[in-house]
Amino acid sequence: MHRPGEMRERTLDVIVPESFGNAMIGVKQGSELRIDLRMESLHDGILVSADIEGTAAGECGRCLIDIEQPVQVEIQELFAYSSDEAFEYEVHEDTIDLEPVVRDAVVLSLPFQPVCQEDCLGLCPQCGVRLLDNPGHEHEAPIDPRWAALGDLADTTTPDVTDAASGVE
Ligand SMILES: [Zn+2]
Ligand SMILES: [Zn+2]
């Protein structure tokens, strides 16, 4: 604090106290985030840079199987000494609260349409089986009406393929 030019580095292994993420994927309660932290004292505050690593868990947006993806995010934020400054974050009682910064950065890095693999074929619109597990899958006979309801379900829950592709980019 108030010693421009000084710098500290820390590695924090954080057990996530509460799950966070989007509707499809997130960092789960109890999982570990490693935060490699660098704090530099400037004239008007503490500049915090960090590399954040962890694992996100969720569902494939096309075939709905459980998936895990690595989380890797870099952040850099100034925590200002004075609340008069036009900075979003402040040093409070000699303390900086990293949690909102880390959460926001991780959530922003998560895909809205995560996929188990880029070429996931989703579910059969007629019977709902996962097409990657059933190569050559096709329906020869008219579908049993008892399965039709499942087909409707797959239609409404399987996102459009072009949407999914643009979400990944
Ligand atoms: Zn999938
Ligand atoms: Zn089918």
Domain boundaries, the chain: 7-109, 131-168
Residue 169 has pLDDT above 50, yes or no: no
Averaged confidence pLDDT in the chain: 88
Amino acid 166: pLDDT: 47
CA of residue 151 to ligand 2 center, whole Å:
8
CA of residue 131 to ligand 2 center, whole Å:
8
Q: Which ligand lies nearest the alpha carbon of 58? A: 1
Q: Which ligand lies nearest the alpha carbon of 64? A: 1
CA of residue 150 to ligand 2 center, whole Å:
10
CA of residue 40 to ligand 2 center, whole Å:
58
Amino acid 83: pLDDT: 80
Q: What is the pLDDT of residues 47-96, one digit of tens each?
A: 999 999 999 999 999 999 999 999 999 999 999 998 876 788 999 988 99
Confidence band, pLDDT 50/70/90 cuts, at residue 143? low
Contact 23, 56 (CB under 8 A): no
CA of residue 159 to ligand 2 center, whole Å:
17
Helical (H) or strand (E) element with 145: helix 145-157
CA of residue 152 to ligand 1 center, whole Å:
18
Amino acid 88: pLDDT: 86
pTM of the model: 0.75
The Cα 108–Cα 106 span in angstroms is 5
Amino acid 140: pLDDT: 77
**Residue of 98, 5, 67 lying closest to 90 (CA atoms):** 98
Confidence band, pLDDT 50/70/90 cuts, at residue 2? confident
The Cα 70–Cα 51 span in angstroms is 13
